[in-house]
Structure 1
Amino acid sequence: MLPSALLQVCPLGTPLDVPLVGVPTTPAVPIPAGTQKQPAWKTGLHRGRAMVTVAVTETVRSMQYGNQSRQDLWDVYGTVTCKCEVEGVLPNVTVTLSLPPNGSPLQDILVHPCVTSLDSSILTSSSVDNLDGSAFSGPYKFPFSPPLEPFRLCSYTSQVPVPPILGAYQLKEEDNQLRLTASLKLHETVKNNFEYCEAHLPLFNRNQMGGADVKVSFGQVDVSKEKNLLVWALGQKFPKSREVSLEAKINFSGQSPGPCDPLCTGLTAYIKLHFKVPDMTLSGCSVDQHSVQVYSSSKPRIATSRELLCKEYYIWNSTGAAPVSGAQMTT
């Protein structure tokens, strides 16, 4: 009775220190050589064409004030996602992240529980510490036995010296109208090849726009009078100079009130950027498809990619009040 009761209570393990006196032994079932027991967390097996996909996505945030009394802020965090369609109960895969020779070390690394082993130096680098020459700078190897569904292999942060796009924004009240000037500059280290790039200039707590005279050095502007919004579409490339500018004069003679925001009163206003750069990361982090190792019964096709996205990327009007975060943005 005791063996069957233990099997009910502990179905996934082998109990130790079990009293043997008076307990009849049961014949062991031989396990065929070369077979592996499927773990309880893996609900099925892959059947079909083998494929391993690894994607590195970095996201940059920024708060730029254009004012010497307030420090501009930015941070970068990355994720590595995988989808492994590989045959076998416990196939082994190793993904290696690499940095360029002058790249900043990855920090604050967190890994998925399926990672089987890890160099301790990978986990000791933290963004709250001062970087020095002894910081581990890769390559970063992650051996793991993958689940069936897509999953996040790891996440990290990286300290980069400058944000990818520097901006300036000035908004002033003149003759019962608003005068706007804005400029954007793409940093020389950033790949000038966007999937999309837009600058949104909302104007809150006023009547709806009556007239808008807008001039840009590059791109196109869509004026939404109902939303009190200028959408500056820059397309897929900055000009050769990597600098663009906008000037506008706007009056708010509409009869209906426009959108409200309790934060953006008076001259408190911002530009919010939206962009995506394929085949690039600010840290330089990448995965070479030839460095992905798969130990399985079949040879899989391997695909790798990387991209840079922005989130909460604000350029505040330098002539008005603006919210100020702490000394460092947090993820």
Structure 2
Amino acid sequence: MAAKVGQSEAQRTPVRLGQGMRALWVLRVDEPGVVAARTFPVVEAGLRRTAVATESAKLAVPAPLPTSSAVLEAVVGEILPSTPALGGDDGASDAAVAASAAGLWPLCLHRTGPLVVVVAPSVKPGAQHAGRLVDEPSVTVGHGLAATLAELLAGYAPGYDLAHMGVIDVFVAFALPLGTVLTLDLPAIRKYMAHKPRDLIASVQGPAAVAKIPASKPFLAKSRSRQVVDIRVSESVRAVQYDVPHLADVCVVQGSLQVKALLEGVPEVTVMAPTLAQVESLALDPAVSVFEPTTGKLSLIPPLETLAVAQYSVPVSVPGSLPIRGFYQQSPLGPQTIHLLIQLKLCVKADVGYCQVRIPFHNHGQITHVDLRPSAGIVNVTADRRALVWILTERWSVGNAEVELPGTITFHGSPRLLDVDAAALAPQPPQPTPTSLALDELNAGSAVALASLAADAAAADAARTAVAHLAAPSDDPFCVASNAYIALDFKMTNTTLSGVHIARDAVSVYPKTRTKLNVDHELVSSDYIIWNSLGASRHGVDLSDLLATAPAPS
């Protein structure tokens, strides 16, 4: 039984990688034979554990995988005769189907010339009764996997020399390690294959070593005088500071543990990271073979390129954990002149590689005169003369942690938004507000409130559109009058905000070899914003708080 999956349905269904495949076969149907067969015990064991955990365990346990000869017989004798889309032998037939044969359901097939790629995806027990096949993520990914491999093999037409079918091993190691689909990017796969890994493996360790190469390291490093292992803990911090009593500062930290090893052979790298086991939302790469949550020990055979073996996020208490605490005030001195004061304090012990503060002036025209007195660094005016960049060139450390930038700035002409009606952009008084009015009437079940709210939103959008046409392309319609912010761009080394730390003696290589070890820790900024404390600012609003403070319906 075979069912063709429509192209439009497949396009509407998002492809989610990371799905497991039970087995993969490449068959030749003009001269029936099995070109390649790969099974994945890791996926099979996980599927059986899931099945045993269900209530109807005896019915849910999947049937054992058939032999390669049984799959070949089913494809040649059952599926091809009953599926016209796969019946062509001119090399142009490449339709994908989902079929049931040889006791397996489902099977994803893709044909190119005399070759048929057969994939057995891992589906939940009882999924055949749940609905359409296209709704099963593993089936959708299985179709893409079969099509990608078929397109790769089509490059060996018309002869399809079996001596070149070793590319299937490399394809599986790169795109399907341990049965988990990691990528379907064919150009990237072809680029990866350009290294001719199988020849390299045989030349380094001999032909017997080919069968010992793990899925996570299909390629080996060439012989070099120095073996190098690089360990890096890289974190990015996103923060918004308001410096007003009714708004709490926000800080989010995300990090990754990255490993790169240029080592001969296939040695195992072990990292002891007890602090890593204490973070939240920890995700490990499939290449990690051992992880002990209690001690934070993880082991892997890393590939040659940099691999993020672990990614995590941590909650940060504000303001205690902010790496740089800032204070920003901007106030008008006249129609063309403003006064500003920026103060920054380094709150962590680290080496600051660089730090730049961008100070944009939206809707003010071009800068004509600057009178600033920075306590450290230099200040430059951008080419469009609409922003300043404060560059802290000196070494910044906790010893001279505080720096400041006071002064005045003069612009050409009046602020551009004075020529338009910006009332829709100004903050509304607390009582009454359109939001509270809408909530009041919405709680009372009034449909008029919804129409009024929609009209107000349309009017605000129209006002913003008009302002955008009059302002410069880079102007922000919200940043009028004293509504302003500064953005920090920095990089710090030898520190992390989460406390995750890797010591040099916590990294080991087995078998032992003379290895150069580099361990780095870095913290970089990502959308690090400080708002003017004398103006309004953008901030998130909790809808539950609005509902709690809304007037009760009368």
Match in the other structure for 1:207? 365
Q: Is the 8 A contact 2:273 2:295 kept in 1?
A: yes
Question: Tell me, which stretches of 5 or more residues in structure 2 are unaligned?
Answer: 1-26, 42-63, 70-206, 417-470, 543-554
Q: Is the 8 A contact 2:238 2:251 kept in 1?
A: yes
Q: Is the 8 A contact 2:351 2:494 kept in 1?
A: no
Q: Helix, strand or coil: the match of 2:486?
A: strand
Residue 185 of structure 1 deviates from its aligned partner by 1.5
Residue 238 of structure 1 deviates from its aligned partner by 5.0
Residue 18 of structure 1 deviates from its aligned partner by 4.7
Residue 178 in structure 1 maps to residue 338 in structure 2 = yes
Once residues 239 and 145 of structure 1 are traced to their aligned partners in structure 2, the CA distance between those partners, rounded to angstroms, is 39
Residue 208 of structure 1 deviates from its aligned partner by 0.5
Residue 86 of structure 1 deviates from its aligned partner by 2.0
Deviation readout 1:97-138 (Å, 9 max, x if unpaired): 244xxx99322111111011223xx4xxxxxxxxxxxxxxx6
Match in the other structure for 2:222? 47
TM-score by length of 2: 0.47
Q: Helix, strand or coil: the match of 1:195?
A: strand
Which shows bigger deviation, 61-70 or 253-262?
Answer: 253-262
Once residues 511 and 234 of structure 2 are traced to their aligned partners in structure 1, the CA distance between those partners, rounded to angstroms, is 27
Residue 7 of structure 1 deviates from its aligned partner by 4.4
Match in the other structure for 2:257? 80
Match in the other structure for 1:216? 374
Q: Is the 8 A contact 2:358 2:487 kept in 1?
A: yes
Greater C-alpha Rg: 2
Once residues 19 and 183 of structure 1 are traced to their aligned partners in structure 2, the CA distance between those partners, rounded to angstroms, is 71
Once residues 263 and 344 of structure 2 are traced to their aligned partners in structure 1, the CA distance between those partners, rounded to angstroms, is 46
Residue 239 of structure 1 deviates from its aligned partner by 7.3
Q: Helix, strand or coil: the match of 1:118?
A: strand
Higher relative contact order (CA 8 A, sep 6+): 1
Once residues 284 and 360 of structure 2 are traced to their aligned partners in structure 1, the CA distance between those partners, rounded to angstroms, is 39
Match in the other structure for 2:288? 115
Query: What is the aligned counterpart of 2:244 among 56, 63, 67?
Result: 67
Deviation readout 1:136-183 (Å, 9 max, x if unpaired): xx6421111222322111111223432111111111122222111121
Q: Helix, strand or coil: the match of 1:147?
A: coil
Residue 140 in structure 1 maps to residue 140 in structure 2 = no
Match in the other structure for 2:269? 93
Match in the other structure for 1:249? 408
Once residues 228 and 40 of structure 2 are traced to their aligned partners in structure 1, the CA distance between those partners, rounded to angstroms, is 32
Q: Helix, strand or coil: the match of 2:35?
A: helix
Once residues 377 and 273 of structure 2 are traced to their aligned partners in structure 1, the CA distance between those partners, rounded to angstroms, is 36
Once residues 197 and 61 of structure 1 are traced to their aligned partners in structure 2, the CA distance between those partners, rounded to angstroms, is 15
Once residues 223 and 504 of structure 2 are traced to their aligned partners in structure 1, the CA distance between those partners, rounded to angstroms, is 21
Match in the other structure for 1:10? 37
Give identity over the alignment, percent: 32
CA spacing shift, 1:197–1:139, aligned 2, 3 Å: farther
Q: Helix, strand or coil: the match of 1:116?
A: strand
Count of residue correspondences: 291
Q: Is the 8 A contact 1:209 1:225 kept in 2?
A: no
Q: Which amino acid aligns with 2:291?
A: L
Q: Helix, strand or coil: the match of 1:70?
A: coil
TM-score by length of 1: 0.77
Once residues 276 and 139 of structure 1 are traced to their aligned partners in structure 2, the CA distance between those partners, rounded to angstroms, is 30
Q: Helix, strand or coil: the match of 2:289?
A: coil
Match in the other structure for 1:312? 527
Residue 37 in structure 1 maps to residue 64 in structure 2 = no
Query: What is the aligned counterpart of 1:232 among 371, 390, 401?
Result: 390
CA spacing shift, 1:290–1:36, aligned 2, 3 Å: farther
Match in the other structure for 1:296? 511
Once residues 246 and 19 of structure 1 are traced to their aligned partners in structure 2, the CA distance between those partners, rounded to angstroms, is 74
Q: Which amino acid aligns with 1:234?
A: L
Once residues 228 and 397 of structure 2 are traced to their aligned partners in structure 1, the CA distance between those partners, rounded to angstroms, is 36
CA spacing shift, 1:113–1:13, aligned 2, 3 Å: closer
Which shows bigger deviation, 257-266 or 279-288?
Answer: 257-266
Match in the other structure for 2:353? 195
Residue 44 of structure 1 deviates from its aligned partner by 2.2
CA spacing shift, 1:59–1:326, aligned 2, 3 Å: farther
Query: What is the aligned counterpart of 1:163 among 307, 318, 322?
Result: 322
Name the structure where helix makes up a greater proportion of residues. Answer: 2
Q: Is the 8 A contact 1:51 1:86 kept in 2?
A: yes
Match in the other structure for 1:325? 540
Question: Tell me, which stretches of 5 or more residues in structure 1 are unaligned?
Answer: 21-31, 123-137
Q: Helix, strand or coil: the match of 2:505?
A: helix
CA spacing shift, 1:174–1:290, aligned 2, 3 Å: same
CA spacing shift, 1:97–1:219, aligned 2, 3 Å: same
Once residues 19 and 267 of structure 1 are traced to their aligned partners in structure 2, the CA distance between those partners, rounded to angstroms, is 73
Once residues 323 and 19 of structure 1 are traced to their aligned partners in structure 2, the CA distance between those partners, rounded to angstroms, is 62
Residue 39 of structure 1 deviates from its aligned partner by 4.4
Q: Which amino acid aligns with 1:214?
A: L
* Superposition CA RMSD, Å: 3.2
